[in-house]
Amino acid sequence: MRKINVFDTTLRDGEQSPGVNLNLEEKLQIASQLECLGVDIIEAGFPAASEGDFQSVKTIAETVKGSSVTGLSRSKKNEIDAAWEALKGGEEPRLHVFIATSPIHMTHKLRMTPDQVIENAVDSVKYAKQRFPHLQWSAEDACRSDLDFLARIIEKVIDAGAEVINLPDTVGFITQEEIRHMFTYLRDTVPNIDKAVLSAHCHDDLGMAVSNSLAAIESGAGQVECTINGIGERAGNASLEEIAVALKIRNDFYKAETGLTLNEIKRTSSLVSKLTGMVVPNNKAVVGENAFAHESGIHQDGVLKEKSTYEIITPDLVGVSANRMVLGKLSGRHAFKEKVQALGYNATEEEINKVFKAFKSLADKKKEITDEDIFALMTEEKAGEAVKYYEVEALQVNYGTNNIPTATVTIQNPEGEILQEAATGSGSVEAVYNTIERIIGGEIKLKDYRIQSITGGRDALAEVYVQIEYDGEEASGRGTANDVLEASARAYINSVNRVLNRKKWPRPQTEKIHV
């Protein structure tokens, strides 16, 4: 079996999804889980974009040891320098540098001739190789580039020191037959191609990112770039879990495999979904809630007799287990700690103690505490601590079908002062949000509001996701609680706190990075 390297860009390309903004603690959680999953390369961000991105990449590079951590850079010396400063403390410093190669990009965006693009690319690779032991070069919009020109520039950047050549379908334009032809042509035409690994990076604008990535692997790609749940710019990227499982299930056809720990897939998917606020559709392949559900009587009968009749992927392959130890209010700290560790959290004693208190409080209200509940409590604790400015202390809402909803909210501000206000609204949630806005000051625009249950049952935890605009910044926020109004209040405060947190490291208004 040919080994395919998995390059995960959830923390870079994935975070460019509209409405997604991850803080440092959340990025660390995702990076650590990607390491558990066995991802070969983690693209942690774009260090030159802002001080916040720089610090995130630096911290992840210094923390993660089991995966190679890389950062993105344009073909500019100052950005390469920033990437080196962020990545030099890592186990295996790696740079991902790119420049556009399609006629439309060279003419209208770069305003450079083809020869100037080649010169710039070669100079950047040579400059980066003075520091970085590992270097990947990408031809932005490769799939709309002239193949002869691609062959010329690839030969020169390999001579300059590039070890990996990435050929992105930046706008999701190419078809399977065309991407097979491109990879085959370059393998046959570039004389020094044996000195580099070819990589595919496909976008899903036409819904073909996964199939195009698999077609590239068929035609010699030794690396595939993807994201968890397929999140990313516009319609997203190729879905890591779909590619990995396709290679596993159809290894008879592809004759290739990844080194991923496949039973970590579901946990990784759930973590990314929760932290980004991007819900996984029920019918999503591999990780959707319906992926292993059989409702048709014919299907049910077949599966009961022999699973392989309708089930080509077993749930346990991707980490979906039906055998879950359920905790309750009589469960002790030891059992709780064992469960947290079994869920893959490397929590400190202080974190265990904090979440155990939240667990006990929840157990007084909820008969059975599931894995999903504990997962939600742990994620809330680890992510929430990083953005605490305002904190909800108490909430009371008066509602009746013939009365005007009124909310009274008590909040602790960053200076430790306790503030209390009341306000009305056309509904209970609006009353809560009007009250919070009155306490904090300044207009807060609610742009999106979503609610879902963590598990089934009347006593299920509610999880609320909001997106707001406050003080000229957009941010998303999450809140989890037994009560939907409390969860709504927490989500609103969380989003405001994220805006304030971002003010520490403002992101400059530069052009978006598309690779």
Range of the domain at 360: 333-384
Do 224 and 309 fall within a single domain? no
Task: Encode pLDDT of 50-100 as tens digits.
Answer: 898 999 999 999 999 999 999 999 999 999 999 999 999 999 999 999 999
CB atoms within 10 A of CB 88: 13
Lowest mean pLDDT among 212-216, 300-304, 307-311, 428-432: 300-304
In the prediction, which pLDDT does 170 show? Answer: 97
- The pLDDT-based confidence of 300 (bands split at 50, 70, 90) is very low
Whether residue 101 is contained in a domain is answered as yes
Q: Is 247 exposed, middle or buried (0-12, 13-18, 19+ CB in 10 A)?
A: buried
Segment holding 420, helix H or strand E: strand 418-424
Question: What's the CA gap between 476 and 138, in Å, rounded?
Answer: 31
In the prediction, which pLDDT does 322 show? Answer: 57
CB atoms within 10 A of CB 176: 16
Long-range contacts of 110-117 (CB under 8 A, 24+ apart): 114/149, 117/153
Tokens, residue 439 = 């306490």
Lowest mean pLDDT among 11-20, 131-140, 193-202: 11-20
Whether residue 510 is contained in a domain is answered as no
Do 359 and 420 fall within a single domain? no
Task: List % helix, strand, coil for the chain (3-state, nearest 5).
Answer: 45, 20, 35
- Between 289 and 124, where is the model more confident? 124
In the prediction, which pLDDT does 229 show? Answer: 98
The domain spanning residue 484 has which CATH number? 3.30.160.270
- The residue-averaged pLDDT of 181-201 equals 98
- The residue-averaged pLDDT of 250-258 equals 97
Question: What's the CA gap between 183 and 206, in Å, rounded?
Answer: 20
Q: How many domains does the chain have?
A: 4
- Half-sphere CA count of 507, side-chain side, radius 13 A: 23
Whether residue 302 is contained in a domain is answered as yes
Task: Encode pLDDT of 119-173 as tens digits.
Answer: 999 999 999 999 999 999 999 999 999 999 999 999 999 999 999 999 999 999 9
Question: What's the CA gap between 379 and 197, in Å, rounded?
Answer: 37
Whether residue 440 is contained in a domain is answered as yes
Do 266 and 240 fall within a single domain? yes
N-term to C-term CA, the chain: 29
Question: What's the CA gap between 269 and 263, in Å, rounded?
Answer: 11
Do 338 and 417 fall within a single domain? no
Do 265 and 373 fall within a single domain? no
Question: What's the CA gap between 81 and 79, in Å, rounded?
Answer: 5
Task: Encode pLDDT of 341-363 as tens digits.
Answer: 777 677 788 888 888 888 888 88
Do 12 and 139 fall within a single domain? yes
Whether residue 282 is contained in a domain is answered as no
Alpha helices in 12-50 (DSSP H): 24-37
Report the residue count for the chain: 515
| Nearest partner of 278 among 328, 229, 217, judged by Cα | 229
Whether residue 285 is contained in a domain is answered as no
Question: What's the CA gap between 63 and 42, in Å, rounded?
Answer: 12
Do 303 and 352 fall within a single domain? no
Do 219 and 113 fall within a single domain? yes
Do 304 and 368 fall within a single domain? no
In the prediction, which pLDDT does 390 show? Answer: 92
Do 90 and 220 fall within a single domain? yes
Mean pLDDT, the chain, rounded, equals 90
The domain spanning residue 95 has which CATH number? 3.20.20.70
Do 252 and 357 fall within a single domain? no
172 Rama class: left (phi>0) / alpha (psi -120 to 50) / beta: left
Over its C-alpha atoms, the chain yields an Rg (Å, rounded) of 25
Whether residue 407 is contained in a domain is answered as yes
Do 18 and 41 fall within a single domain? yes
